[in-house]
Amino acid sequence: MPVALLALTAGAFGIGVTEFVIMGLLLQISADLGVSIPAAGLLISGYALGVFAGAPILTIATRKLPRKTTLIALMVIFTVGNLACALAPNYETLMIARVITALAHGTFFGVGSVVATTVVAPDKRASAIAIMFTGLTAATLLGVPFGAWLGLEYGWRSTFWAVTALGVLATAVLAIFVPSSKAVEAPSSLREEVAVLARPQVLMGLAMTVLGYAGVFAVFTYIQPILTEVTGFSKAAVSPVLLVFGGGMALGNILGGKLADRRLMPAVLGTLTVLAVVLGLMTFGIQSKIAAVVFSGLLGIAAFATVAPLQLRVLEKAGGAGQSLASSLNIAAFNLGNALGAWLGGVVIASALLGLQSVTWVAALVTAAGLLIALASWRMDRRERAAALSLEGAAS
């Protein structure tokens, strides 16, 4: 395994912790800053929207820089943003700090995904992306439960101080192990890169990512209140359950990469189908403590099994010229889904007719909409192949 790929994974771990750890801190932040739980949940939406805005802007702004320089600069932004979160005196300042932190996220994973696919054999590209995203799963498996425990014991600010230190360490790892290059690694014109976004299949890939992950985060954003208020767990028991979720993510991430390396579009369709089913059945599972733990693990598997297939699908349809921009925008699409899901979950919770116990089945419907787009994209693939075969037959 290339050392550069492991360095990218370390950076992904640091960013993953700061993205996901706040799910285990919602109740503490809500109480300390005097805001409602849905308002605290908007800190997740704010982060996701920061990713969505930052991905295209920073990818274009850094397109002529060596990729190592870009990755290190992004990690510095991440570290400074987390420091600002730790020092934030109020809700508004914390929101601004979260958005600043998020600006680095999309471009880091977008550029990192492209780098990951270039250091392995062509038939291992999805697995390389999955290995990089193992940093996210490790963040959820180890960083989020530890951060939730740290916030419970020493206050939520202590968690952000710890993540700031993690950012410093990740920056050093990237500086040491990612190989330097004096060449400009994005020689294509800006017009060529942006033109990729006009391709229907690229747009459909981005849409299936947004809707698929909106379902995940409609539930995961509010996993702490769901487990405590619906299932009946204590606050202290949430961290071990998040550990189960993180373990499922790690398994699903590797599984999704292997499936996508074999047959990409069936992997996209299959993983989105399983995700929608798991979310729907979780409506019944959260009524029992044992079942809630089981479904937390299944949700982790199903959610992250989609990541490598969805990312590689967009890279494949973008082609060479616009891969960095398309890759970053798909990371932005994941986070737009996160923001949409966090907002939708808050709407469901605040509804007099629905409430906290209805979040899971509403989430399943949103992911099912992403599956419908994936089916339409697959049918378009088949029509394009049929048309190409017809042309070949006519020419011969």
Q: What confidence score (pLDDT) does residue 31 get?
A: 87
Q: Give the type of residue at 287.
A: Q
For tokens 């998040």, the residue is: 242
Say how far apart CA 25 and CA 38 lie, in whole Å.
Answer: 13
Report the alpha-carbon distance of residue 218 to residue 341 in Å, rounded. Answer: 4
Average pLDDT score, the chain: 84
Q: Which three-class secondary structure state does DSSP give residue 182?
A: coil
Report field, pTM of the whole predicted structure over 0.95? no
Residue 182 has pLDDT above 70, yes or no: no
Q: How far apart are CA 82 and CA 70, in angstroms?
A: 19
171-200: b or e for each residue (b if 16 or more CB lie within 10 Å)? Answer: bebbeebbeeeeeebbebeeeebeebeeee
Indicate the pLDDT class of residue 90, thresholds 50, 70 and 90: very high
Three-state DSSP at 82 gives helix
pLDDT score, position 306? 92
Q: Is the dihedral of CA 160, 166, 170, 171 positive or negative?
A: positive
CATH number, domain at 348? 1.20.1250.20
pLDDT digits (tens, 9 = 90+) for 27-86: 888 888 888 877 887 887 788 788 878 888 887 888 778 878 888 898 899 899 999 999
Report which DSSP code applies to 140: I
Pick 106 or 108 by higher pLDDT: 108
Q: Copy the structure tokens of residue 205.
A: 């890939």
- Over residues 126-139, the mean pLDDT reads 78
Q: List the domain range (segments joined by +) for residue 288.
A: 3-395
Number of domains in the chain: 1
Instruction: Report whether 77 contacts 98 (CB < 8 A).
Output: no
Please state, in angstroms and rounded to a whole number, the distance separating the CA atoms of residues 26 and 94: 13
Handedness of CA 12, 14, 15, 17 (dihedral sign): positive
DSSP 43-65: HHHHHHHHHHHHHHHHHHHTTTS
Q: What is the mean pLDDT of residues 360-367?
A: 94
Instruction: Transcribe 305-369 into DSSP letters.
Output: HTHHHHHHHHHHHHTTTTHHHHHHHHHHHHHHHHHHHHHHHHHHHH-SSS-GGGHHHHHHHHHHH
Asked whether 41 and 26 are in contact (CB, 8 A), the reply is yes
**SS3 of 139, please?**
helix
* pLDDT digit string, tens, across residues 282-329: 999 988 999 999 999 999 999 989 988 998 888 888 776 667 778 778
111-122 tens-digit pLDDT: 887 777 776 777
DSSP 25: T
Name residue 214's amino acid: A
- Give the Cβ contact number of residue 281 at 10 Å: 16
CA–CA dist 273, 57 (Å, integer): 33
For residue 393, the model assigns a pLDDT of 65
Determine the 3-state secondary structure of 232 from DSSP. Answer: coil
* 244-272: average pLDDT: 88
pLDDT at 115: 76
| The dihedral sign for the CA sequence 236, 240, 245, 249 | positive
Scan for tokens 């392995």, then name that residue: 120
Specify whether the backbone of 311 is left (phi greater than 0), alpha (psi in -120 to 50) or beta: alpha
H-helix or E-strand containing 141?
none
User: What's the Cα-to-Cα distance from 138 to each of 125, 146, 214, 253, 338, rounded to whole Å?
Assistant: 20, 11, 21, 10, 19
